[in-house]
Amino acid sequence: MTDKINHEPVKVLDKGFVRLVDFMGGDQGVVDAARVSYGGVSKGAEADKKLIGYLLKHSHMTPFEHSVFKFHVSAPIFVARQWFRHRFAAYNEVSFRYTEVKDDFYMPSTWRGQDKKNKQGSSAAIELDQKALHAMFKTQVDAALAVYKNMLEQGVAREMARMVLPVNLYTEFYWTVNARSLMNFVALRADTHAQFEIQAYGEALAKQFKALMPWTYEAFLRDGWKGENPTIAAEKAALPVLQTAAR
């Protein structure tokens, strides 16, 4: 159904990435899982695509659990902690008990202010002294890393020395997720109400999803996506008008 499988890392933020490791099922996997319910077989591309649209429109979601993605992700710890709240997936994360921390820290390009209405959100703040904030932040990060290294040199265990490190440190993990859960992730995290940093990962995953499962992605745009995102909104607006109802 698609040959666009790219295993190259997709850069996210300043040092992060999303890399596809493995993939199973695809759009055809959804169709096959749905039709087995009544002993049916594929009826051709047009009918199969309509079936996917029908399933998603009417919230018949279990067939989408039979298509699976495995990603290798590098993200700041504070992003990963939001990510891991998506529980219907499998995770394996690098352990800083076993490995020594690298000098990989997320350094934001722009500092945002606290949103005046949304207690958990942020917004542009032209009054902030960006240069001074960047310098202050870098000084703090460098100092934390220096203390960490000094502790290791003194013989402190890695599992304890890591306590001095800030949450903008990059971590890495494997994430195995089915298409149903991936749609949930994109719906929540690619939305403009999500924090900017995880939103960037949501957008990167949406592109992977679109490339690997184009029929399901189109159905998701039509009936699954309810959020706000300029890029995704443009994709949704560009969808062709359906001539007949899916059956």
Catalytic residue IDs: 189
- Between the two ends of the chain, the Cα-to-Cα distance in Å is 20
Strand order in the sheet with 68-76: 10-12, 16-24, 68-76, 170-178, 90-93
Total count of residues recorded for the chain: 247
Q: Which distant-in-sequence residues (6+ apart) come within 8 Å of 224 by Cβ?
A: 56, 183, 187
User: Is the Cα dihedral 193, 190, 45, 67 positive or negative?
Assistant: negative
Helix (H, G, I), strand (E, B) or coil at 217: helix
Exposed (0-12), middle (13-18) or buried (19+): which is 230, by Cβ within 10 Å? exposed
Residue 11 main-chain phi, psi, to 5 deg: -70, 135
User: Is the Cα dihedral 94, 95, 98, 104 positive or negative?
Assistant: positive
| Secondary structure of 148-178 in HEC code, one letter for each residue | HHHHHHCCCCHHHHHHHCCCCEEEEEEEEEE
Closest CA to 209 of 32, 56, 20, 66: 20
